[in-house]
Structure 1
């Protein structure tokens, strides 16, 4: 099995190193990750300049681009042998609920899925203990399963792991994405040249965070495993939307 590892925290991230070490011996591992932190980059591609690839003494490769760039180049140009799957992480903080919209970790996984590869995004719900080895072991357990998992097209697994030793995990739970409350306000500051600047405010707490959600699972000490479908179409409102559009003046005939 050939596995591509990537992340959004950068090629020197301790979470990425822990993931590599935790999966050693499972197959042929290749690491292609951003040369610096790209948290919050989402699915952005670099299209306005060429990208530079650097190989490091430990064999890892870095790219001066986004997580999506890294997976795209790795699968579509850097290696002759194809990959069997993509694993992105271990992210230094949680990717719960609405976080996945912004997450570069999840974006690296979805790029792998777009290119036809099964993919997992894994994050540590960090509370300051940094038990990356627990998250790495979770991924290994998922990959070593003798029963193949079939999610269907345009789907990935989003995995969030409590920041505890392995033997303190409560277990595994299959969850849905919760939702956060509104983010905190932007934080103004003054730069040394006297100009006003702003920091983006912190993400809101879990608003929809009850039983069944990823928020609730990790709060109870469980590994949260959420199947994420990249099709953002709101299928349940298509019929009513067609009716509404058809009622508009000058909507024309033959509304599909």
Structure 2
């Protein structure tokens, strides 16, 4: 494809995450990569933005060369800062990942990884989130190589400016992965849990989302089901949350305000 693209690479696991380092090296095949990522882990922050305090941004060096910029804020903060101030030239592709853990189904709504891609799409730039369903021995290098190849194929199809994509890889295991499926985002709710504990001083506290029990998905044509089967999933997303069915249903109501 040549090195004509200007790529912004970010994540929500933080600038020192192994998934980001692996993808940073692999994406060099597609263009000039600039890294702007959170200074610390920001998993689960969704599309939060820092408004009430300044953003501290530091250069991060590896082997005496600039690796990227560390932002003391959220993944969306990183993309906003990169687009408005930090990146020269401006990116024409945003890649967020590799996230440690899948971002499929309703987890898309909680994900800082996907939120960074959404922020890129806000700026009219093709944006892609990449996640890996992890276990004890994730292979980020192999995942990065496959992700880069899939991103190249996606770009060869000339996606619309501002298009938004979510790619998930299944857990690394024998015969991994089985293939690629283009599937919709699953809408089933994960089984939630809130674990109650007591600290040494007798105070009650809670941990949310510690290894929630998973049940086999009943939505057979979804990213969650395909991942469970061992396939890489590609899902085009849209950040327009308008419910067009309800819009149409209430469009003929003659709305009236009460008298003042």
* Alpha carbons 1:40, 1:102 under 8 Å: kept: yes
Encode CA deviations 1:22-48: one digit per residue, 9 max, x unaligned: 222321111111111110000000000
Encode CA deviations 1:206-254: one digit per residue, 9 max, x unaligned: 67543321012112221100011111111122122335x54x7x458xx
Alignment match, 1:27 = 31
Corresponding pairs, count: 248
Matches within 5 A, 1:46-195: 46-58=50-62, 59-145=67-153, 147-151=156-160, 153=162, 155-164=163-172, 168-195=176-203
SS in 1 for 2:151: helix
Compare 53-62 and 129-138 and name the one that shifted more.
129-138
SS in 2 for 1:56: strand
> Quick one: distance in 2 between partners of 1:27 and 1:196?
51
Change (3 A) 1:204 1:235: farther
* Alpha carbons 1:178, 1:213 under 8 Å: kept: yes
**What TM-score comes out, normalization by structure 1 length?**
0.88
> Quick one: distance in 1 between partners of 2:242 and 2:150?
29
1:219 aligns with 2:219: no
Alignment match, 2:22 = 18
The offset of 1:81, in angstroms, is 1.2
**Aligned Cα root-mean-square deviation (Å):** 2.2
Change (3 A) 1:156 1:119: same
Change (3 A) 1:209 1:22: farther
Compare 130-139 and 110-119 and name the one that shifted more.
130-139
> Quick one: distance in 1 between partners of 2:20 and 2:216?
30
* Alpha carbons 2:10, 2:97 under 8 Å: kept: yes
Alignment match, 2:247 = 238
Structure 2's unaligned 5+ residue stretches are none
> Quick one: distance in 1 between partners of 2:218 and 2:46?
23
